[in-house]
Amino acid sequence: KAGVTQTPRYLIKTRGQQVTLSCSPISGHRSVSWYQQTPGQGLQFLFEYFSETQRNKGNFPGRFSGRQFSNSRSEMNVSTLELGDSALYLCASSLQLAGGNEQFFGPGTRLTVL
């Protein structure tokens, strides 16, 4: 099976712009979670989608949003970018809601905000 794929791998934007990141889960996986990884904060949970519905949400401002499509692919959108949004954004998929299940991570999208 192909692993979790994320596009693009690298992205450079300027403050105030918006960005959309894409994640394709492993075939058959229905849950997709998003994380922000920064050197100082580690991994911070953004949100989880299951069957096209947001099931869990972390403590991020409303500028961060997401959605999931019927084929389980997910997109994450960040509007009005700030310098502090520079990070590695990781997507993870699992068969069901990621309770005790293993999450499989993609390679991430490196976002740089100038």
Partner 1 sequence: AQSVTQLDSQVPVFEEAPVELRCNYSSSVSVYLFWYVQYPNQGLQLLLKYLSGSTLVESINGFEAEFNKSQTSFHLRKPSVHISDTAEYFCAVRDGTGNQFYFGTGTSLTVIP
Integer Cα distance of 30 and 63 in angstroms? 25
Residues 49-88 as x/- pattern, contact with partner 1 by CB under 8 A: ------xx-x------------------------------
Which of 21, 103, 111, 113 forms a contact with partner 1 (CB under 8 A)?
A: 103
Q: How far is it, in rounded angstroms, from Cα 44 to Cα 3?
A: 22
Query: Interface with partner 1 by CB under 8 A: which residues?
Result: 4, 33, 35, 40-45, 48, 55-56, 58, 90, 92, 97-100, 102-108
